[in-house]
A and B are shown apart, each in its own frame.
Chain A
Amino acid sequence: MGIEVRNITKRFGEFTALDNVSLRVPKGDLVALLGPSGCGKTTLLRIIAGLENADEGRVLFDGEDATHHRVQERRVGFVFQHYALFRHMTVFENVAFGLRVKPKRFRPSEQEIKDRVQELLGLVHLEWLADQYPSQLSGGQRQRVALSRALAVEPKVLLLDEPFGALDAQVRKSLRRWLRRLHDEIHVTSVFVTHDQEEALEVADRVVIMKDGTVVQSGTPVEVYEQPATAFVYKFLGNVNHFPGTISEGKAHVGNMAFDLPAEAQGQTASIYVRPHEMILDHSPFGDRCFRASVRHINPAGPYVKVELITDWGESVDVEISREEYQRLNLTRDAEVYASPRETKIYLEQG
């Protein structure tokens, strides 16, 4: 089922959590709502679920207006950030809950419930935990129980609030791959909220980036990564170095470097952004755009060597170079180097 959100506005007292947000989730897609905390992404998810009412705007399921449908009628599956498993029920009863509370004429028989729960626990590979209580499970297991509980009522939409937020790094990685595979298997339209850009880019078909209650950009992971619409998106999707520049004679200037301005952009000040792995280092000046800096810190642990530089004008710059490059340069602390950005993003701002 496709979801459409039209011009949603939500205020909590003086605070505007969502400001005229519109959004489309095509049927069968897995969409990530990505943004820093407080950007309104969880509120939007809760409005789609019906757990929260919007002050203005509409929510449509498959083109049908669901704005005034109660949460029970929306047939959504919701996975809470802290799982919200029923603590006094076994795993089996947790998953069976949605089936047991159905009105009598729709309620499956005891045997059907049993089969369905077993099947769902099988889907998440947890059949063997059916008789345990939530507190006896690990975080990752609780997450999977929460997911199969949500799937038990055959929801038309699956909504997940920070599904991996409370898990440690290892479990997180394997669970998000697993979620992707599960989605490919069952194809239920899904929306998940996250503040982790890596997670969003890896798992989702489409990423919706939010900031201060508005949608800044949406698109496939490749689109948003390669063509970030604003400086915010660019900064949010990975580490960046920021060089404030001045504009004169149709170019942006930083130190002794000059950059061409983007064609359609307007503004008085320029911000030049460079990702750490887009920086090239050498011992002597090279190319037509480079600056002198000294090495402040080197962290050789990990697949890349991370180098922190200080420019002549006192800014700190992060650089990631390959191990081979690091050995070739034979860098040491306080050494003098020349650095050049290979690839830049320039955004112009007013004033």
Chain B
Amino acid sequence: MIRYALIAVALSFLVFFLILPLVTVFSQALSKGLRAYLVVFADSDTISAIRLTLITVAVAVPLNTLFGIIAAWAIAKFEFRGKMVLITLIDLPFSVSPVISGLVFILIFGSQGLLGPWLSAHHLKIVYAVPGIALVTTFVTLPFVARELIPLMQEQGTEEEEAALVLGATGLQTFFRVTLPNIKWGLLYGVILCNARAMGEFGAVSVVSGHIRGLTNTVPLHVEILYNEYNFVGAFAVASLLAFLALVTLALKSVVEWKSERSGRRMTGVREEATDGH
């Protein structure tokens, strides 16, 4: 009895908080028909918002992938002073409200900010421009890859790398032939999450963007503007794009999880694998 009650509660909770909004997004977006829906995507402001979001992702995701690998490598494979501080710092963007993160960047790069006079003297614009948006997005999504890799690399230890070195491999050979193959699924998982968050980030971006139509609006900001203008079909149509991307991310994430679990099982040595398929 309790079992069914619990399942019922969990299910209705899910329906109310996840399925219902998702359905609403798509039904509202298509409420005036497919034509009205598609027209939104022909709008130049929408197109530039999508373009800006893609640019932001193209900056933030590779940067954080690189940083994540380097930080996880350092933390997992070496002993050094201040390691705990580094681990805590990596978590900082998770613990700080995105709005605060955005404000911090205004305080640093804004015209009244620390670097403001120097930047304006050199005609460099960061806040209320594309670089600022890319910067805060990178900051907010910084932990994803590193957080994913650190426990994985710590668990795997350094013996395999040492074995490769003793066998004559160079540092780079060791990384590409031993380390990277061992972390690839965890890495991919981190990149997917990082990508999802980079596309969807609202708070921090909203603070530094300045909401200049066609110039500094990302997809989430564009949704808000359309909604505030009572253009519900437009707002929900653009929102449906984000929702669709979320579903794709979810699917990719499951595939990667399934793959990494399988390879994890192969790697940690569950013997069942020995009997099937070989």
Contacts and interface: CB of A to CB of B under 8 A. Distances in A.
Interface of A: 49-51, 71-72, 76-78, 80, 82, 84-88, 97-98, 101-102, 131-136, 149-150, 152-153
Contacts of B159: 80, 82, 84
B169 A132 contact: no
Contact of A136 (B166, B181, B274): B274
Interface of B: 159-160, 162-170, 173, 177-178, 181-182, 263, 266-271, 273-274, 278
Nearest to B156: A87
Given A87-B267, A136-B273, A98 B178 contact: no
Nearest to A89: B181
B167 A88 contact: no
A132 B278 contact: yes
Given A101-B168, A135-B270, A153-B168, 7 more contacts: A84-B159, A84-B160, A84-B162, A85-B160, A86-B160, A132-B274, A133-B266
A87 B273 contact: no
A76 B271 CA distance: 32
Contact of B182 (A88, A133, A135): A88
15 contacts: A71-B166, A76-B166, A78-B166, A80-B162, A84-B160, A85-B163, A88-B263, A88-B267, A97-B169, A97-B177, A101-B169, A132-B274, A133-B273, A135-B270, A135-B274
A127 to B, nearest CB: 16
A149 B178 CA distance: 15
B270 to A, nearest CB: 7
A102 B173 CA distance: 10
A145 B274 CA distance: 17
B266 A72 contact: no
Contacts of B168: 72, 98, 101-102, 153
Contacts of B177: 86, 97, 101
A135 B162 contact: no
Most buried by B among A85, A101, A131: A101
Contact of B170 (A49, A84, A88, A101): A101
Among the interface residues A50, A72, A134, A150, which one has the most CB atoms of the partner chain B within 10 A? A72
A87 B274 contact: no
Contact of B167 (A51, A97, A131, A134): A97
Contact of B271 (A88, A136, A149): A136
A102 B168 CA distance: 7
Contacts of B273: 133, 135-136
A102 to B, nearest CB: 6
A87 B162 CA distance: 14
Nearest to A87: B267
Given A72-B169, A86-B178, A149-B167, A51 B162 contact: yes
A307 to B, nearest CB: 43
A78 B278 contact: no
B267 A135 contact: yes
Central interface residue in B159, B165, B167, B181, by most chain A CB within 10 Å: B167
Contacts of A136: 269, 271, 273-274, 278
A287 to B, nearest CB: 56
A97 B164 contact: yes
A76 B168 CA distance: 9
A197 B217 CA distance: 73
Contacts of B163: 78, 80, 84-86, 149
Contact of A135 (B164, B170, B178, B269): B269
Contacts of A134: 269
Nearest to B163: A84
Contact of A153 (B167, B269, B270, B271): B167
A51 B267 contact: no
Contacts of A135: 266-271, 273-274
Contacts of B181: 88
Residue among A51, A85, A136 having the largest count of chain B Cβ atoms under 10 Å: A136
